[in-house]
Structure 1
């Protein structure tokens, strides 16, 4: 209980007041910020000393998590408003988007279609080769721009993942609770009866000897002696 309180206290110190702090984000030592069922890590500190990342380097910094994907205007605004708390100057953030040659359209990693977009100028860099087309978000305007995946280097990286859903604890029904209680009481009652009988009727008592097995047509020793004497008497001349 004390450990959980300490976690909540530390979380309040790290998270901004406008955000709801969550303990369901990855516990990998980095500061993840929850928003709308997702967790976000704004790359900073030692890993942000160069502040110049190729697209491949940006994906590596996320350490197996996704690059930033934006599915709504609210999510786009969240990234813009939180960026100044991490970076002093304006940055261009890599988005986890690529050009899909099968559909001839942009898609998010994870194969989600691009439902929401906020282009600065509609496909401003249309001269890019499709396979070399990536997207960057400008933190000062919130607008998106097509950039080269191979030749461009941006100075902002945001990683993203789903919050871990807590398993719902099902409350037992009243009927189930009653059945469990009755079962326990029945077991205790039977155990008490057995214990009572074991202590009242010990080995050698009338209760146990009453169930001794006597084979049928048993001839007692006294009867045998009488028969022997009778035979001897009859055999005398």
Structure 2
């Protein structure tokens, strides 16, 4: 079709097709592959067939925030065709999954089980949106249906349906689109004028959203990625730390110091002074400066602070059994690593990537409960932030009391014998109160009390001097007036008034001599108004 149509209520319109992403909240409504296909057929469609990277991105962006994987329209028995009969021209198999289906290396038990394709909603970018095969008869999955668009009865101008607002909401972010020819530096300035920053792309979900957006915008846009070491490392201008990348190819990172995204969402580098037709910004949420004010204590190992916790990575190369690693952390007043949320997981992976291939696994402070077949942290809390990759392990066939490791760089969990020698990370709460006001850089702490002391001494000296002057004022001011009279023909009002008061006081002391002896003094008074009369005692 060449004209846009409409979709039934609850369906999503994209690329002349209608999509229905279904992940029931009630676990009893989750379906097998066959049940999902029957549901889609009843709605006038089939399980989804994905014909391009753009369609893949559209479905991926609509899985944001979900924890359940979804069935798609492929089976292992006919893996080169979709269930609707269309040929497979695009694929997005997980690298860790079996891709070459005819030579599928599996156990005798699995050879007799039909396999169907799932798309992962795992937030770990190594698996987000990736395809893999699993037992078609398994329940507990969502699904994605597709159907052709409903044809409109009247002609619709495509440009009217393609208008893109300058501000867009997706997930937990607000994006702003800046239009106009500009360099990377001008793009950053324009974003800041809108109280935003050039966009960072932290994961595969936001990348999928921007891929769809850029395909509609139709031209390249600046993003907030740049390098200062000729492409060896790139940093996001808003300070975001993420190991996720989406370069077009290996050479794309070495063509310039600033990055942009093309209409397929792929990243390229170019000269920062180049002119592009726009930029993608995102509004940076304000963070409280002292939301996590504690500092890390000083022990025999160094610590790195993240939010309200401190981490020691100095032991990741120190291979120990689980028990030895656990005891070492306790001796430092801390605990073995437990991961509580996705942000903490991203921070850990970012730090561990700095060790390269030297670190492959580190212990997690978790224990398996054989009674109810669940995994818990050592403090008894559930492991809500688990990451088993594409498939969860079969908890029913585990050996007694296995231990758990975090595998690098994918960040997935594995069961392993507790006696194995692995690296480890210690973690503790940031317990030292932070100082809310810091002195200026380079200023010695001892200057403040010294300054206060000197100020008090000077003030005391001035007070003593004033008191002495007050006691001696009569004699002093007599001499001053006598010496200044011939040199200063005019005085300000306050000085003259003060001197007159002193002279009058002298007159009262000399009551026996009230005649004015010096006639010229009288003439001086008449000739210079406002000037004091000089009288000899």
Normalised to the residue count of structure 1, the TM-score between the two structures is 0.53
Cα RMSD after superposing both structures: 3.2
Higher helix fraction: Structure 1 or Structure 2?
1
Choose which of 344, 359, 365 in structure 2 pairs with 1:75: 344
| Alignment deviations for residues 139-186 of structure 1 (CA, whole Å, 9 cap, x no partner) | 211111111223x322x21000111163999xxxxxxxxxxxxxxxxx
Matched, 1:138 2:440: no
Q: What CA distance in whole angstroms lies between the structure 1 residues aligned with 2:358 and 2:304?
A: 20
- Give the gaps of 5 or more residues in structure 2: 1-238, 242-288, 437-537
1:53 is matched with: 320
Displacement of 1:137: 0.4
Cα pair 2:302 2:314 within 8 Å, conserved: no
| Alignment deviations for residues 182-215 of structure 1 (CA, whole Å, 9 cap, x no partner) | xxxxxxxxxxxxxxxxxxxxxxxxxxxxxxxxxx
Matched, 1:157 2:157: no
C-alpha spacing 1:96/1:55, structure 2 compared with 1 (3 Å): same
C-alpha spacing 1:86/1:27, structure 2 compared with 1 (3 Å): farther
| Alignment deviations for residues 20-77 of structure 1 (CA, whole Å, 9 cap, x no partner) | 99762121142111112111111349xx4xx422111211221242110001111111
C-alpha spacing 1:158/1:124, structure 2 compared with 1 (3 Å): farther
Higher strand fraction: Structure 1 or Structure 2?
2
SS class of match (2:362): strand
C-alpha spacing 1:125/1:136, structure 2 compared with 1 (3 Å): farther
The aligned length equals 146
Q: What CA distance in whole angstroms lies between the structure 2 residues aligned with 1:32 and 1:149?
A: 26
SS class of match (1:83): helix
Higher relative contact order (CA 8 A, sep 6+): 1
1:108 is matched with: 377
SS class of match (1:26): coil
C-alpha spacing 1:77/1:167, structure 2 compared with 1 (3 Å): closer
Matched, 1:34 2:301: no
2:366 is matched with: 97
Cα pair 1:80 1:139 within 8 Å, conserved: yes
| Alignment deviations for residues 110-136 of structure 1 (CA, whole Å, 9 cap, x no partner) | 1111111111341168643232x1110
SS class of match (1:130): coil
C-alpha spacing 1:26/1:18, structure 2 compared with 1 (3 Å): farther
Query: Superposition pairs for residues 189-208 of structure 1, below 5 Å?
Result: none
- The answer to which of 55-64 and 135-144 deviates more is 55-64
Normalised to the residue count of structure 2, the TM-score between the two structures is 0.25
Cα pair 1:125 1:147 within 8 Å, conserved: no
